[in-house]
Amino acid sequence: MPRTRGAWTPRRAPATVRASAELELPTQPTRPGTLITIEGIDGAGKSTQVDLLAAHLGARGHHVVATREPGATPLGHELRRLLLQSEIALEPFAELLLFLADRVEHVRRVIAPALAAGAIVLCDRFSDSTIAYQGYGREADVARVRRWDEESRAGITPDLTLLLDCPVAVASARRRHATDRYQSLDPAFHQRVRDGFLALAALEPTRVRRVDASRDVAGVRDEIERVVGTWLEERRR
Ligand code: TMP
């Protein structure tokens, strides 16, 4: 199928459409809860660490909701399959919008209600992944990706982000088989994504904490428990 390239020009929506309740996104809810996101390149070991951290915090009496992007809602489940497993060619802007559609549903149906209920929400990937992959990885206009992302998350921002960081070679050795659209991209793409994540960490050092993910699972787990434990303690004061 030929890929047609052409500039996409945003159009101003007519006032009647802008006012439609169906397009309204929830604003930042009262937030007794905490949003912790876990980020990193493919093969950094995020999913394992999300499970371990959820068990650790749960055993200490916290109400924990572990979730992930893309794929945590019924629409998200379909989008995940389309984004990761299908071979349909996607224009970069279409790809961005599909990840953001997943986020709109996720924020509205899972994250915002859990935060309103006082949970610690552990989210395996969130906005930083969009900025790192669709912005830095795809070499797009990062400021523009940020603006679109901002629309999708309706004012919800992570309180703490753990960036599981390791060299691309270490992560790809762990992945062994490239099984999806992103895992099969070349090392230069993953290097740009890693550099993007590190740039985001440098921009927001208070929110984004880098964790050395080249160590073994137990070593990474121990550091994450220390960072999160200290952070929760300081927040209580
Ligand atoms: P994972 O759930 O196994 O980490 O796979 C999700 C893939 O989707 C991963 O390669 C990163 C990619 N991704 C983006 O490109 N942009 C995004 O906004 C998100 C959430 C994920």
Q: What does the pLDDT read at residue 237? A: 83
Domain tally, the chain: 1
16 found inside a domain: no
What's the CA gap between 62 and 45, in Å, rounded? 23
Nearest Cα residue to atom 15 of ligand 1: 133
Could you tell me which of 106, 149, 142 has the C-alpha nearest to residue 124? Answer: 106
Residue nearest to atom 1 of ligand 1 (CA): 42
**Measured between alpha carbons, how far is 173 from 170 in angstroms, rounded to an integer?**
5
Is residue 182 pLDDT above 90, yes or no?
A: no
In a domain, 18, yes or no: no
Task: Write the CB contacts of 217 (distance below 8 Å, at least 6 apart in sequence).
Answer: 45, 48, 49, 52
Task: Over range 212-231, report the average pLDDT.
Answer: 98
Nearest atom (ligand 1) to Cα of 127: 18
Task: Work out the mean pLDDT of the chain and round it to a whole number.
Answer: 89
Asked whether the beta carbons of 114 and 65 are under 8 A apart, the reply is yes
Residue 4 placed within a domain: no
Alpha helices per DSSP H over the chain: 15-18, 46-59, 74-80, 92-106, 112-116, 127-130, 142-152, 168-175, 187-203, 217-236
Ligand 1 atom at minimal distance to the Cα of residue 180: 10
Give ligand 1 pocket residues (Cβ under 6 A).
42, 68-70, 84, 99, 125, 129-130, 133-134, 182
Look at residue 209 in the predicted model and tell me its pLDDT.
98
Q: pLDDT at position 174, please?
A: 86
Instruction: Establish whether the linkage from the previous residue to 74 is cis, with ω within 30° of 0.
Output: no
Tell me what pLDDT residue 25 has. 57
User: What gap in Å lies between CA 96 and CA 101, rounded to an integer?
Assistant: 9
Taking the CA atoms of 102, 213, 215 and 54 in sequence, report the sign of the dihedral they define: negative
CA 181 to chain centre: 17
pLDDT, tens digit, 9 for 90 and up, residues 104-126: 999 999 999 999 999 999 999 99
Domain assignment present for residue 90? The answer is yes
Instruction: Look at residue 168 and tell me if it is in a domain.
Output: yes
Sign of the Cα pseudo-torsion (200, 129, 48, 236, in order) = positive
Q: What ligand 1 atom has the least distance to the C-alpha of 46?
A: 4
Q: Does the residue 19 lie in any domain?
A: no
pLDDT of 27 reads 55
What is the rounded CA–CA span in Å between residue 232 and residue 237? 9
Confidence of residue 40 (pLDDT cuts 50, 70, 90): very high
pLDDT computed for residue 120 by the predictor:
98
- Domain that includes residue 228, residue range: 28-236
Q: Is the pLDDT of residue 82 over 80?
A: yes
pLDDT over threshold 50, residue 144:
yes
The answer to whether position 58 is within a domain reads yes
Q: Using CA positions, which residue lies closest to atom 13 of ligand 1?
A: 129
Q: pTM for the full model?
A: 0.88
CB 171, CB 44: distance < 8 Å: yes
Q: What is the pLDDT of residue 26?
A: 57
Does residue 15 fall inside a structural domain?
no
> The domain spanning residue 154 has which CATH number?
3.40.50.300
Return the pLDDT at 226.
Answer: 98
Q: Which atom of ligand 1 lies nearest, measured to the CA of 70?
A: 20
- Integer Cα distance of 10 and 43 in angstroms: 36
For residues 90 and 180, is the Cβ–Cβ distance under 8 A?
Answer: no
Ligand 1 centre distance from Cα of residue 136 (Å): 13
> In angstroms, rounded to a whole number, what is the distance separating the alpha carbons of residues 208 and 3?
37
